[in-house]
Amino acid sequence: MNDNYFIAKNESGKLGVINSNGKEVLEFKYDLIQKIKETNIIQTLIAENSETILYSSKLEELYKGNNITIKNYLGYIEVKDNENKNYFSNSGEKIDEENGIIKKSKLTSEPENIGEYKRVQYTLNDIYYIK
């Protein structure tokens, strides 16, 4: 994953993180663990309740929420739930909407819609659009 951290799976199929000594660093309870494209931010997901937790590269918790969407822009990400928008630099520092990097990058973001197709899902390397 990064430095001395590795994504591992236990016998029940749940994902967690171990260090280079084999010690559990993040509990084996996740259905998904991935590094967000072009960032040092780690995304975890528990599918049962749609809980997402974002971690820094040092596995410090940055954000926790349910049914969130993540938009990856040039230099930062936007994390949105039903009520709030939060912004984090690619290194995991929380930034506000008035930050210059956000205003400058808005023009280069992926479009919400392309014709009849709507952006619905990010993976590690791809953005998907469905009709």
pLDDT tens digits for range 10-25: 999 999 999 999 999 9
Q: What is the dihedral of CA 27, 30, 34, 36, to 10 degrees?
A: -100
Residue pair 40/90 in contact (Cβ under 8 Å)? The answer is yes
Task: Please tell me the pTM assigned to this model.
Answer: 0.75
Q: 94, 105, 19: which is closest to 56 by C-alpha?
A: 94
Query: Residue 44's beta-bridge partner residues?
Result: 33, 53
The answer to whether residue 131 scores a pLDDT higher than 80 is no
The answer to whether residue 35 scores a pLDDT higher than 60 is yes
pLDDT band at 107 (very low <50, low <70, confident <90, very high): very low
Name 22's Cβ contacts closer than 8 Å, sequence gap at least 6.
Answer: none
Instruction: Provide the mean pLDDT of the chain.
Output: 84
Structure tokens belonging to residue 35: 């590094």
In Å, how far are 26, 64, 92, 115 from 95, measured between CA atoms? 25, 16, 9, 32
